[in-house]
Amino acid sequence: LAQPADRQQMEALTRYMRAALAPYNWPVWLGVHDRRAEGLYLFENGQRVSFFAWHRAPRPELGAQP
């Protein structure tokens, strides 16, 4: 599973997934959960999440088609 650690990695992952899944718009699970404790977000491997903008739509690329 992808584990984006910052906005740059999230935007690169978004571009990759859009190209890989086109023309469909399927949701993608990043493996983030808070099963251990409410509000404590972890990746499936137990690493603590430090970047939280994954739930927001990234900035559109210049010249990109919707």
| Residue of 58, 57, 60, 37 whose CA lies nearest to 49 | 37
36/53 Cα distance (integer angstroms): 21
What is the reported pLDDT for 57? 55
- Per the CB < 8 A criterion, the answer to whether 64 and 57 are in contact is no
What is the reported pLDDT for 40? 92
pTM: 0.62
Q: Name the stretches of the chain with pLDDT < 50.
A: 62-63, 66
